[in-house]
Structure 1
Protein backbone atom coordinates (compact mmCIF):
# COMPACT_ATOMS: atom_id res chain seq x y z
CA UNK A 1 0.00 0.00 0.00
CA UNK A 2 1.36 3.42 -0.94
CA UNK A 3 1.88 5.57 2.12
CA UNK A 4 0.81 9.22 1.89
CA UNK A 5 1.47 12.08 4.32
CA UNK A 6 -0.91 12.01 7.27
CA UNK A 7 -3.80 14.45 6.97
CA UNK A 8 -3.92 16.19 10.36
CA UNK A 9 -7.11 17.35 12.07
CA UNK A 10 -5.78 18.38 15.49
CA UNK A 11 -6.05 22.09 14.60
CA UNK A 12 -9.73 21.74 13.71
CA UNK A 13 -11.29 20.87 17.08
CA UNK A 14 -11.84 17.32 15.83
CA UNK A 15 -11.62 14.57 18.44
CA UNK A 16 -12.92 11.50 16.65
CA UNK A 17 -12.83 10.16 13.10
CA UNK A 18 -12.61 7.00 11.03
CA UNK A 19 -9.36 6.39 9.18
CA UNK A 20 -7.65 3.78 7.04
CA UNK A 21 -4.46 2.08 8.19
CA UNK A 22 -1.59 2.66 5.77
CA UNK A 23 1.28 0.93 7.53
CA UNK A 24 2.04 -0.99 10.71
CA UNK A 25 5.34 -1.90 12.29
CA UNK A 26 6.18 -3.78 15.49
CA UNK A 27 9.26 -2.97 17.56
CA UNK A 28 10.14 -3.32 21.26
CA UNK A 29 6.71 -4.76 22.14
CA UNK A 30 5.02 -1.75 20.56
CA UNK A 31 2.88 -1.57 17.47
CA UNK A 32 3.27 1.56 15.37
CA UNK A 33 0.13 2.39 13.40
CA UNK A 34 0.09 4.95 10.59
CA UNK A 35 -3.29 6.04 9.21
CA UNK A 36 -4.27 8.26 6.30
CA UNK A 37 -5.64 10.94 8.67
CA UNK A 38 -5.80 11.57 12.40
CA UNK A 39 -7.16 13.90 15.10
CA UNK A 40 -4.10 13.12 17.29
CA UNK A 41 -1.33 15.64 17.87
CA UNK A 42 2.09 13.94 18.01
CA UNK A 43 4.99 15.16 20.11
CA UNK A 44 7.63 16.75 17.89
CA UNK A 45 10.98 15.02 17.53
CA UNK A 46 12.66 18.41 16.99
CA UNK A 47 11.09 20.72 19.61
CA UNK A 48 9.09 18.52 22.03
CA UNK A 49 7.45 21.34 23.97
CA UNK A 50 3.86 20.14 23.42
CA UNK A 51 3.06 16.59 24.64
CA UNK A 52 1.37 13.93 22.58
CA UNK A 53 -2.38 13.59 22.76
CA UNK A 54 -3.95 10.73 24.67
CA UNK A 55 -6.85 8.61 23.50
CA UNK A 56 -7.78 5.31 21.90
CA UNK A 57 -7.93 3.44 18.62
CA UNK A 58 -10.75 1.00 17.90
CA UNK A 59 -9.72 -1.98 15.77
CA UNK A 60 -12.33 -4.55 14.73
CA UNK A 61 -14.63 -3.37 17.52
CA UNK A 62 -11.93 -3.53 20.24
CA UNK A 63 -10.65 -0.33 21.84
CA UNK A 64 -6.92 0.03 22.58
CA UNK A 65 -5.18 2.82 24.46
CA UNK A 66 -2.87 4.97 22.38
CA UNK A 67 0.10 4.99 24.76
CA UNK A 68 2.08 7.52 22.73
CA UNK A 69 1.81 9.53 19.54
CA UNK A 70 5.00 10.32 17.63
CA UNK A 71 6.28 11.78 14.39
CA UNK A 72 7.44 9.29 11.79
CA UNK A 73 9.04 9.40 8.35
CA UNK A 74 8.54 6.73 5.69
CA UNK A 75 11.11 6.03 2.99
CA UNK A 76 8.86 5.35 0.03
CA UNK A 77 11.20 3.11 -1.96
CA UNK A 78 11.49 0.60 0.89
CA UNK A 79 8.25 1.43 2.74
CA UNK A 80 10.36 1.63 5.92
CA UNK A 81 9.11 3.64 8.89
CA UNK A 82 11.53 5.65 11.04
CA UNK A 83 10.12 6.99 14.31
CA UNK A 84 10.94 10.00 16.48
CA UNK A 85 14.68 10.45 17.07
CA UNK A 86 15.49 7.74 14.51
CA UNK A 87 14.23 9.95 11.67
CA UNK A 88 17.29 10.50 9.43
CA UNK A 89 15.97 13.26 7.13
CA UNK A 90 14.50 16.73 7.27
CA UNK A 91 10.92 17.37 6.27
CA UNK A 92 10.06 17.63 2.58
CA UNK A 93 13.00 15.39 1.64
CA UNK A 94 12.29 13.88 -1.79
CA UNK A 95 11.27 10.24 -1.58
CA UNK A 96 10.03 10.52 2.01
CA UNK A 97 6.70 11.32 3.65
CA UNK A 98 6.11 12.43 7.23
CA UNK A 99 3.36 10.75 9.20
CA UNK A 100 1.71 10.60 12.61
CA UNK A 101 2.49 7.35 14.43
CA UNK A 102 -0.03 5.97 16.93
CA UNK A 103 1.63 3.66 19.46
CA UNK A 104 -0.23 0.75 21.10
CA UNK A 105 0.93 -2.35 22.95
CA UNK A 106 1.88 -4.89 20.29
CA UNK A 107 0.37 -7.93 22.02
CA UNK A 108 -3.06 -6.32 22.11
CA UNK A 109 -3.29 -5.02 18.55
CA UNK A 110 -4.07 -7.07 15.47
CA UNK A 111 -4.23 -4.66 12.57
CA UNK A 112 -3.13 -4.60 8.94
CA UNK A 113 -2.72 -2.06 6.18
CA UNK A 114 -6.08 -1.36 4.61
CA UNK A 115 -8.07 -1.88 7.82
CA UNK A 116 -10.55 0.77 8.90
CA UNK A 117 -10.12 2.05 12.46
CA UNK A 118 -11.70 4.66 14.68
CA UNK A 119 -9.42 7.21 16.36
CA UNK A 120 -10.65 9.01 19.47
CA UNK A 121 -8.68 11.75 21.22
CA UNK A 122 -9.09 12.45 24.94
CA UNK A 123 -10.84 15.79 24.42
CA UNK A 124 -10.48 17.09 27.98
CA UNK A 125 -6.75 16.41 28.02
CA UNK A 126 -6.16 18.03 24.62
CA UNK A 127 -8.16 21.10 25.63
CA UNK A 128 -6.15 21.45 28.84
CA UNK A 129 -2.93 21.35 26.82
CA UNK A 130 -4.43 23.89 24.40
CA UNK A 131 -5.20 26.30 27.23
CA UNK A 132 -1.68 25.92 28.59
CA UNK A 133 -0.10 26.50 25.18
CA UNK A 134 -2.20 29.54 24.27
CA UNK A 135 -1.57 31.03 27.72
CA UNK A 136 2.16 30.50 27.17
CA UNK A 137 1.99 32.55 23.95
CA UNK A 138 0.27 35.40 25.78
CA UNK A 139 2.85 35.28 28.57
CA UNK A 140 5.88 35.46 26.27
CA UNK A 141 4.35 38.33 24.28
CA UNK A 142 3.66 40.20 27.53
CA UNK A 143 7.18 39.52 28.80
CA UNK A 144 8.69 40.91 25.59
CA UNK A 145 6.43 43.95 25.77
CA UNK A 146 7.14 44.80 29.40
CA UNK A 147 10.91 44.48 29.02
CA UNK A 148 10.78 46.75 25.94
CA UNK A 149 8.30 49.38 27.09
CA UNK A 150 9.81 49.72 30.58
CA UNK A 151 13.36 50.26 29.38
CA UNK A 152 15.18 47.04 30.15
CA UNK A 153 16.97 47.21 26.78
CA UNK A 154 19.69 49.88 26.49
CA UNK A 155 20.06 49.59 22.70
CA UNK A 156 18.12 48.40 19.69
CA UNK A 157 17.89 44.63 19.36
CA UNK A 158 17.69 43.22 15.84
CA UNK A 159 15.02 40.60 16.54
CA UNK A 160 11.48 41.85 17.09
CA UNK A 161 8.38 39.86 18.00
CA UNK A 162 5.04 40.09 16.10
CA UNK A 163 4.08 43.17 18.14
CA UNK A 164 7.33 44.95 17.31
CA UNK A 165 8.93 44.52 20.74
CA UNK A 166 12.45 43.26 21.31
CA UNK A 167 12.20 39.50 21.22
CA UNK A 168 13.66 38.54 24.60
CA UNK A 169 11.87 35.19 24.37
CA UNK A 170 13.57 34.30 21.09
CA UNK A 171 17.00 35.41 22.28
CA UNK A 172 16.96 33.88 25.74
CA UNK A 173 14.59 30.89 25.79
CA UNK A 174 16.32 27.57 26.46
CA UNK A 175 13.34 25.30 27.13
CA UNK A 176 9.57 25.45 26.95
CA UNK A 177 7.26 22.80 28.34
CA UNK A 178 3.49 22.73 27.92
CA UNK A 179 1.32 20.65 30.25
CA UNK A 180 -2.32 20.69 31.32
CA UNK A 181 -3.33 24.33 31.95
CA UNK A 182 0.34 25.16 32.38
CA UNK A 183 3.45 26.32 30.55
CA UNK A 184 7.00 26.60 31.90
CA UNK A 185 9.73 28.55 30.08
CA UNK A 186 13.37 28.86 31.09
CA UNK A 187 15.62 31.71 30.02
CA UNK A 188 19.36 32.28 30.13
CA UNK A 189 20.50 35.85 30.76
CA UNK A 190 24.12 35.33 29.69
CA UNK A 191 26.94 37.46 28.37
CA UNK A 192 25.71 37.36 24.77
CA UNK A 193 22.31 38.75 25.74
CA UNK A 194 23.94 41.53 27.75
CA UNK A 195 26.05 42.44 24.72
CA UNK A 196 22.88 42.62 22.66
CA UNK A 197 21.63 45.29 25.02
CA UNK A 198 19.58 43.68 27.79
CA UNK A 199 20.11 45.11 31.28
CA UNK A 200 20.11 41.63 32.82
CA UNK A 201 21.01 42.76 36.34
CA UNK A 202 18.01 45.10 36.41
CA UNK A 203 15.73 42.31 35.18
CA UNK A 204 16.82 40.09 38.07
CA UNK A 205 16.45 42.90 40.59
CA UNK A 206 12.99 43.84 39.32
CA UNK A 207 11.50 40.36 38.83
CA UNK A 208 8.56 41.04 41.18
CA UNK A 209 7.77 44.30 39.41
CA UNK A 210 8.04 42.71 35.97
CA UNK A 211 5.87 39.79 37.11
CA UNK A 212 3.10 42.16 38.23
CA UNK A 213 3.21 44.11 34.97
CA UNK A 214 3.07 40.93 32.89
CA UNK A 215 0.06 39.65 34.81
CA UNK A 216 -1.75 42.95 34.30
CA UNK A 217 -1.02 42.92 30.56
CA UNK A 218 -2.02 39.30 29.97
CA UNK A 219 -5.30 39.63 31.80
CA UNK A 220 -6.10 42.86 29.94
CA UNK A 221 -5.73 40.90 26.72
CA UNK A 222 -7.86 38.07 28.08
CA UNK A 223 -10.65 40.52 28.92
CA UNK A 224 -11.06 41.27 25.20
CA UNK A 225 -12.15 37.66 24.60
CA UNK A 226 -10.65 37.56 21.12
CA UNK A 227 -10.92 34.61 18.76
CA UNK A 228 -7.88 32.41 18.20
CA UNK A 229 -7.45 31.17 14.66
CA UNK A 230 -5.13 28.38 13.59
CA UNK A 231 -4.06 29.17 10.04
CA UNK A 232 -2.83 26.08 8.21
CA UNK A 233 -0.88 26.33 4.97
CA UNK A 234 -1.87 22.76 4.18
CA UNK A 235 -3.37 19.66 5.73
CA UNK A 236 -0.18 17.62 6.17
CA UNK A 237 1.97 17.32 9.28
CA UNK A 238 4.91 19.21 7.76
CA UNK A 239 2.82 22.12 6.45
CA UNK A 240 3.26 25.36 8.37
CA UNK A 241 0.68 26.35 10.97
CA UNK A 242 0.21 29.73 12.64
CA UNK A 243 -1.45 30.99 15.83
CA UNK A 244 -3.41 34.17 15.04
CA UNK A 245 -5.08 36.47 17.55
CA UNK A 246 -6.13 40.12 17.74
CA UNK A 247 -5.12 40.83 21.33
CA UNK A 248 -6.49 44.37 21.17
CA UNK A 249 -7.55 46.87 18.53
CA UNK A 250 -3.93 47.71 17.70
CA UNK A 251 -2.21 44.43 18.57
CA UNK A 252 -2.62 41.64 16.03
CA UNK A 253 -0.34 38.64 16.36
CA UNK A 254 0.70 35.80 14.05
CA UNK A 255 3.08 33.21 15.55
CA UNK A 256 4.34 30.06 13.81
CA UNK A 257 3.18 27.16 15.99
CA UNK A 258 2.45 23.48 15.48
CA UNK A 259 0.58 22.84 18.74
CA UNK A 260 -3.11 22.72 19.62
CA UNK A 261 -4.86 25.81 20.93
CA UNK A 262 -8.11 27.27 22.20
CA UNK A 263 -10.67 28.66 19.78
CA UNK A 264 -11.13 31.83 21.83
CA UNK A 265 -9.54 33.60 24.78
CA UNK A 266 -12.95 33.33 26.47
CA UNK A 267 -11.99 29.69 27.19
CA UNK A 268 -9.40 31.00 29.66
CA UNK A 269 -10.80 32.76 32.73
CA UNK A 270 -7.54 33.98 34.27
CA UNK A 271 -3.80 33.53 33.86
CA UNK A 272 -1.30 33.69 36.71
CA UNK A 273 2.35 34.21 35.78
CA UNK A 274 5.23 33.68 38.19
CA UNK A 275 8.83 34.74 37.55
CA UNK A 276 11.71 33.33 39.58
CA UNK A 277 15.48 33.19 39.48
CA UNK A 278 16.45 29.52 39.58
CA UNK A 279 20.23 29.93 39.46
CA UNK A 280 22.78 32.53 38.40
CA UNK A 281 21.79 33.96 34.98
CA UNK A 282 18.71 31.74 34.70
CA UNK A 283 15.06 32.63 35.26
CA UNK A 284 11.83 30.69 34.89
CA UNK A 285 8.43 31.94 33.80
CA UNK A 286 5.61 29.74 35.05
CA UNK A 287 2.23 30.31 33.38
CA UNK A 288 -0.86 28.81 35.01
CA UNK A 289 -4.41 28.92 33.71
CA UNK A 290 -6.80 29.40 36.61
Structure 2
Protein backbone atom coordinates (compact mmCIF):
# COMPACT_ATOMS: atom_id res chain seq x y z
CA UNK A 1 0.00 0.00 0.00
CA UNK A 2 1.41 3.41 -0.95
CA UNK A 3 0.50 6.92 0.10
CA UNK A 4 -1.41 7.37 -3.15
CA UNK A 5 -3.29 4.13 -2.39
CA UNK A 6 -4.17 4.92 1.23
CA UNK A 7 -6.52 2.60 3.04
CA UNK A 8 -10.11 3.05 1.82
CA UNK A 9 -12.26 4.63 4.47
CA UNK A 10 -9.34 6.11 6.43
CA UNK A 11 -10.56 8.62 8.98
CA UNK A 12 -10.40 12.27 7.97
CA UNK A 13 -9.23 14.66 10.65
CA UNK A 14 -11.92 17.12 9.58
CA UNK A 15 -14.60 14.75 10.84
CA UNK A 16 -13.07 14.74 14.34
CA UNK A 17 -12.81 18.46 14.88
CA UNK A 18 -15.57 20.97 15.48
CA UNK A 19 -15.26 24.74 15.03
CA UNK A 20 -17.59 25.16 18.02
CA UNK A 21 -16.03 23.01 20.75
CA UNK A 22 -12.88 21.20 21.78
CA UNK A 23 -12.54 17.51 20.94
CA UNK A 24 -11.91 15.32 24.00
CA UNK A 25 -9.48 12.38 23.92
CA UNK A 26 -9.80 9.92 26.80
CA UNK A 27 -6.66 8.16 28.02
CA UNK A 28 -6.62 4.36 28.39
CA UNK A 29 -3.29 3.12 29.76
CA UNK A 30 -3.05 -0.67 29.68
CA UNK A 31 0.37 -0.63 31.31
CA UNK A 32 1.62 -1.51 34.79
CA UNK A 33 3.86 1.57 35.07
CA UNK A 34 2.12 4.68 33.73
CA UNK A 35 2.78 7.69 35.96
CA UNK A 36 -0.84 8.34 36.96
CA UNK A 37 -2.87 5.14 36.74
CA UNK A 38 -0.34 2.41 36.04
CA UNK A 39 -1.79 -1.03 36.70
CA UNK A 40 -5.44 0.02 37.06
CA UNK A 41 -6.46 -1.13 33.60
CA UNK A 42 -4.13 -4.01 32.76
CA UNK A 43 -7.03 -6.46 33.07
CA UNK A 44 -8.68 -6.45 29.60
CA UNK A 45 -12.24 -6.44 30.89
CA UNK A 46 -11.54 -3.55 33.26
CA UNK A 47 -9.84 -1.66 30.41
CA UNK A 48 -12.78 -2.19 28.08
CA UNK A 49 -15.17 -1.11 30.82
CA UNK A 50 -13.17 2.05 31.39
CA UNK A 51 -13.25 2.87 27.67
CA UNK A 52 -17.02 2.32 27.67
CA UNK A 53 -17.37 4.67 30.64
CA UNK A 54 -15.23 7.39 29.04
CA UNK A 55 -17.37 7.28 25.90
CA UNK A 56 -20.52 7.63 28.01
CA UNK A 57 -18.89 10.62 29.72
CA UNK A 58 -18.28 12.36 26.41
CA UNK A 59 -14.93 11.19 25.01
CA UNK A 60 -14.71 11.72 21.25
CA UNK A 61 -11.54 9.61 20.91
CA UNK A 62 -10.04 6.81 23.01
CA UNK A 63 -6.23 6.88 23.14
CA UNK A 64 -4.76 3.47 24.03
CA UNK A 65 -1.18 3.07 25.21
CA UNK A 66 0.44 -0.28 25.96
CA UNK A 67 3.93 1.01 26.78
CA UNK A 68 4.57 3.73 29.33
CA UNK A 69 6.09 6.91 27.93
CA UNK A 70 6.45 8.59 31.34
CA UNK A 71 9.24 11.13 30.98
CA UNK A 72 10.69 11.11 34.51
CA UNK A 73 12.15 7.64 34.81
CA UNK A 74 10.64 4.43 36.09
CA UNK A 75 9.23 3.37 32.75
CA UNK A 76 10.08 -0.10 31.55
CA UNK A 77 10.66 -0.36 27.79
CA UNK A 78 8.78 -3.32 26.37
CA UNK A 79 9.31 -5.47 23.32
CA UNK A 80 7.06 -5.34 20.30
CA UNK A 81 5.72 -8.76 21.28
CA UNK A 82 4.70 -7.65 24.79
CA UNK A 83 3.11 -4.45 23.52
CA UNK A 84 1.05 -6.41 21.01
CA UNK A 85 0.06 -8.97 23.66
CA UNK A 86 -1.26 -6.16 25.87
CA UNK A 87 -3.24 -4.64 23.01
CA UNK A 88 -4.61 -7.87 21.52
CA UNK A 89 -7.46 -8.54 23.99
CA UNK A 90 -8.43 -4.86 24.30
CA UNK A 91 -8.05 -3.11 20.96
CA UNK A 92 -10.74 -4.85 18.92
CA UNK A 93 -13.30 -4.57 21.69
CA UNK A 94 -12.65 -0.84 22.14
CA UNK A 95 -12.80 -0.24 18.38
CA UNK A 96 -16.19 -1.98 18.40
CA UNK A 97 -17.51 0.63 20.85
CA UNK A 98 -17.77 3.02 17.93
CA UNK A 99 -15.42 5.89 18.78
CA UNK A 100 -12.19 6.49 16.87
CA UNK A 101 -9.27 4.80 18.59
CA UNK A 102 -5.83 6.37 18.73
CA UNK A 103 -2.72 4.25 19.29
CA UNK A 104 -0.06 5.79 21.51
CA UNK A 105 3.08 3.92 20.46
CA UNK A 106 6.73 4.58 19.64
CA UNK A 107 6.95 1.55 17.33
CA UNK A 108 6.00 1.70 13.66
CA UNK A 109 5.37 -2.05 13.57
CA UNK A 110 2.85 -1.80 16.42
CA UNK A 111 1.16 1.15 14.75
CA UNK A 112 0.85 -0.73 11.47
CA UNK A 113 -0.62 -3.77 13.23
CA UNK A 114 -3.05 -1.67 15.30
CA UNK A 115 -4.30 0.26 12.28
CA UNK A 116 -4.99 -3.04 10.54
CA UNK A 117 -7.04 -4.08 13.59
CA UNK A 118 -9.29 -1.03 13.29
CA UNK A 119 -7.46 1.77 15.10
CA UNK A 120 -7.88 5.06 13.26
CA UNK A 121 -5.28 7.53 14.57
CA UNK A 122 -1.53 7.48 15.20
CA UNK A 123 -0.10 9.15 18.31
CA UNK A 124 3.70 9.38 18.23
CA UNK A 125 5.43 10.95 21.24
CA UNK A 126 8.55 11.42 19.13
CA UNK A 127 6.91 13.34 16.30
CA UNK A 128 8.02 10.94 13.52
CA UNK A 129 11.65 11.55 14.52
CA UNK A 130 12.56 8.36 16.42
CA UNK A 131 11.38 5.27 14.53
CA UNK A 132 12.39 5.80 10.87
CA UNK A 133 9.42 3.76 9.62
CA UNK A 134 6.75 5.66 11.55
CA UNK A 135 6.09 8.31 8.89
CA UNK A 136 5.82 5.69 6.16
CA UNK A 137 3.23 3.70 8.12
CA UNK A 138 1.15 6.85 8.70
CA UNK A 139 1.39 7.75 5.01
CA UNK A 140 0.53 4.24 3.84
CA UNK A 141 -2.63 4.12 5.92
CA UNK A 142 -3.61 7.73 5.30
CA UNK A 143 -4.69 8.21 8.93
CA UNK A 144 -4.52 11.31 11.13
CA UNK A 145 -1.38 11.52 13.25
CA UNK A 146 -0.62 13.38 16.46
CA UNK A 147 3.05 14.42 16.41
CA UNK A 148 4.46 15.45 19.76
CA UNK A 149 7.44 17.58 20.72
CA UNK A 150 9.97 15.69 22.82
CA UNK A 151 13.55 15.85 24.01
CA UNK A 152 15.83 13.22 25.52
CA UNK A 153 16.28 15.48 28.54
CA UNK A 154 15.26 18.91 29.70
CA UNK A 155 17.58 21.87 29.22
CA UNK A 156 16.51 24.83 31.38
CA UNK A 157 18.77 27.18 29.40
CA UNK A 158 16.89 26.96 26.11
CA UNK A 159 13.89 28.90 24.80
CA UNK A 160 11.47 26.00 24.82
CA UNK A 161 9.01 27.51 22.35
CA UNK A 162 11.75 28.22 19.81
CA UNK A 163 12.89 24.63 20.29
CA UNK A 164 9.37 23.39 19.59
CA UNK A 165 9.12 25.49 16.45
CA UNK A 166 12.37 24.06 15.04
CA UNK A 167 11.35 20.56 16.07
CA UNK A 168 8.00 20.75 14.28
CA UNK A 169 9.67 22.12 11.18
CA UNK A 170 11.75 18.93 11.09
CA UNK A 171 8.69 16.77 11.72
CA UNK A 172 6.75 18.42 8.91
CA UNK A 173 9.68 17.94 6.55
CA UNK A 174 9.73 14.23 7.41
CA UNK A 175 5.96 14.03 6.91
CA UNK A 176 6.14 15.80 3.55
CA UNK A 177 8.91 13.51 2.35
CA UNK A 178 6.91 10.41 3.36
CA UNK A 179 3.79 11.64 1.59
CA UNK A 180 1.67 12.36 4.67
CA UNK A 181 -1.06 14.83 3.84
CA UNK A 182 -0.60 17.99 5.89
CA UNK A 183 -4.31 18.18 6.69
CA UNK A 184 -4.03 14.89 8.59
CA UNK A 185 -1.53 16.16 11.17
CA UNK A 186 -2.06 17.42 14.72
CA UNK A 187 0.78 18.97 16.73
CA UNK A 188 1.24 18.40 20.45
CA UNK A 189 3.65 20.56 22.52
CA UNK A 190 4.43 17.56 24.73
CA UNK A 191 3.78 19.08 28.14
CA UNK A 192 6.19 17.50 30.63
CA UNK A 193 8.31 15.77 28.01
CA UNK A 194 11.89 17.03 27.83
CA UNK A 195 10.88 20.17 29.68
CA UNK A 196 11.34 21.62 33.13
CA UNK A 197 8.10 22.39 34.98
CA UNK A 198 8.69 26.06 34.23
CA UNK A 199 9.07 25.31 30.52
CA UNK A 200 5.82 23.34 30.55
CA UNK A 201 4.05 26.40 31.94
CA UNK A 202 5.64 28.56 29.24
CA UNK A 203 4.61 26.08 26.53
CA UNK A 204 0.97 26.39 27.57
CA UNK A 205 1.14 30.16 28.00
CA UNK A 206 2.61 30.61 24.51
CA UNK A 207 0.65 27.87 22.80
CA UNK A 208 -0.71 30.30 20.23
CA UNK A 209 2.78 30.59 18.71
CA UNK A 210 2.30 27.09 17.32
CA UNK A 211 -0.59 28.36 15.20
CA UNK A 212 2.00 29.43 12.63
CA UNK A 213 1.91 25.89 11.23
CA UNK A 214 -1.79 26.12 10.45
CA UNK A 215 -2.46 22.76 12.12
CA UNK A 216 -4.76 21.70 14.96
CA UNK A 217 -3.11 21.61 18.38
CA UNK A 218 -3.58 18.88 20.97
CA UNK A 219 -2.96 19.68 24.62
CA UNK A 220 -2.30 16.94 27.15
CA UNK A 221 -1.40 18.22 30.60
CA UNK A 222 -3.67 15.93 32.58
CA UNK A 223 -2.17 15.19 36.02
CA UNK A 224 1.30 16.28 34.86
CA UNK A 225 4.18 16.94 37.22
CA UNK A 226 4.40 20.67 36.52
CA UNK A 227 1.10 21.08 38.41
CA UNK A 228 2.79 19.73 41.54
CA UNK A 229 5.60 22.27 41.09
CA UNK A 230 2.96 24.97 41.57
CA UNK A 231 0.79 23.23 44.19
CA UNK A 232 2.38 20.13 45.76
CA UNK A 233 0.17 17.16 44.91
CA UNK A 234 0.10 13.54 43.83
CA UNK A 235 -1.09 12.68 40.28
CA UNK A 236 -4.64 11.84 41.37
CA UNK A 237 -4.86 15.15 43.26
CA UNK A 238 -4.25 17.30 40.18
CA UNK A 239 -7.74 17.48 38.69
CA UNK A 240 -8.16 21.19 39.41
CA UNK A 241 -4.81 22.09 37.91
CA UNK A 242 -5.46 19.88 34.89
CA UNK A 243 -8.80 21.54 34.17
CA UNK A 244 -7.38 25.04 34.65
CA UNK A 245 -4.56 24.32 32.24
CA UNK A 246 -6.82 22.73 29.66
CA UNK A 247 -9.30 25.62 29.70
CA UNK A 248 -6.53 28.18 29.23
CA UNK A 249 -4.95 26.06 26.48
CA UNK A 250 -8.25 25.93 24.60
CA UNK A 251 -8.43 29.73 24.88
CA UNK A 252 -4.94 29.81 23.35
CA UNK A 253 -6.07 27.68 20.42
CA UNK A 254 -5.95 24.00 21.41
CA UNK A 255 -8.48 21.96 19.43
CA UNK A 256 -8.07 18.60 21.21
CA UNK A 257 -7.78 17.95 24.94
CA UNK A 258 -6.25 14.67 26.13
CA UNK A 259 -7.34 13.72 29.63
CA UNK A 260 -7.59 10.98 32.24
CA UNK A 261 -10.72 12.62 33.73
CA UNK A 262 -13.24 12.74 30.93
CA UNK A 263 -16.45 13.61 32.77
CA UNK A 264 -14.98 16.52 34.71
CA UNK A 265 -13.08 17.84 31.69
CA UNK A 266 -16.10 17.69 29.39
CA UNK A 267 -18.20 19.48 32.02
CA UNK A 268 -15.60 22.23 32.44
CA UNK A 269 -15.20 22.72 28.71
CA UNK A 270 -18.93 22.87 28.05
CA UNK A 271 -19.54 25.38 30.84
CA UNK A 272 -16.69 27.58 29.59
CA UNK A 273 -18.04 27.35 26.04
CA UNK A 274 -21.56 28.30 27.19
CA UNK A 275 -20.27 31.32 29.10
CA UNK A 276 -18.15 32.42 26.15
CA UNK A 277 -21.13 32.08 23.83
CA UNK A 278 -23.32 34.11 26.16
CA UNK A 279 -20.64 36.77 26.44
CA UNK A 280 -20.42 37.03 22.66
CA UNK A 281 -24.18 37.16 22.36
CA UNK A 282 -24.54 39.95 24.91
CA UNK A 283 -21.89 41.98 23.10
CA UNK A 284 -23.73 41.98 19.78
TM range (shorter): under 0.3
TM-score, normalised to structure 2's length? 0.25
Instruction: From the two aligned structures, give the one with the greater strand fraction.
Output: 1
Give the greater-gyration-radius structure (CA).
1
Instruction: From the two aligned structures, give the one with the greater helix fraction.
Output: 2
TM-score, normalised to structure 1's length? 0.24
